[in-house]
Amino acid sequence: MAHIKLLNEELPGIVGLLTYRPETGKPLTELAEVLLRGPSSLSSGEREIIAASVSYWNKCHFCHTSHAAAAAAHLKTGIGLIDEIKAGLPNTEVSEKLRSLLHIAHQVQRGGKEVTEEDVAHARSLGATDQEIHDTVLIAAAFCMFNRYVDGLGTWAPEHNEAYTEMGERMAHKGYIRF
């Protein structure tokens, strides 16, 4: 049960919060849509991995699991990707460039000033563009906000990974805009 009375208590995580106050929900969903599905040289699956990883580091079960399920839907890897992201992707083939961007995202999650010139130079040396670095930092920062929004208001989340399969498919293929 959320800390506040939501319009629909059955909607999990951020979904109930977005419908609670559509005037704030609309720009938040538009931001997620641009960051995760808009034009980018990073695939939507890669961007969802960044969002899911930041959410895991922030201990936000709902955001981690839903965005990892969306990454799995984009990448057609299966629901096991949820736990693989928690483990740091040891068995998932991802580019060294993405691993360097995940490091930058982790630095942002710890605190924006944790990102160093060396982190950025390393990502660039692996082929990351300025836009990819920018978008990684913005995804990480936005998901720190989204995670705190969801957990700060005590929303509920399904416990088991399988409960997120349909949600991940919907997010991956239909997007985030709900208003």
Question: What are the structural domain ranges in the chain?
Answer: 43-174
Q: What 3-state class would DSSP assign to 113? A: helix
Phi-psi region of 5 (alpha: psi -120 to 50; beta: other; left: phi over 0): beta
**Contacts for 17 with CB less than 8 Å, ≥ 6 apart:** 2, 6, 25, 149, 150, 153, 155
What local confidence, expressed as pLDDT, does residue 90 receive?
A: 96
Q: What is the pLDDT along the chain (179 residues), one digit of tens a residue?
A: 899 999 999 999 999 999 999 999 999 999 999 999 999 999 999 999 999 999 999 999 999 999 999 999 999 999 999 999 999 999 999 999 999 999 999 999 999 999 999 999 999 999 999 999 999 999 999 999 999 999 999 999 999 999 999 999 999 999 999 76
What local confidence, expressed as pLDDT, does residue 1 receive?
A: 84
CATH superfamily of 43-174: AhpD-like (1.20.1290.10)
The C-alpha angle 134, 139, 141, rounded to 5 degrees, equals 95
Residue type at position 70 = A
Q: pTM of the prediction?
A: 0.98
Residues 146, 140: Cα–Cα separation, whole Å: 10
| Residue 90: burial class (beta carbons within 10 Å; 0-12, 13-18, 19+) | exposed
Residues 145, 107: Cα–Cα separation, whole Å: 15
What local confidence, expressed as pLDDT, does residue 178 receive?
A: 79
What local confidence, expressed as pLDDT, does residue 91 receive?
A: 94
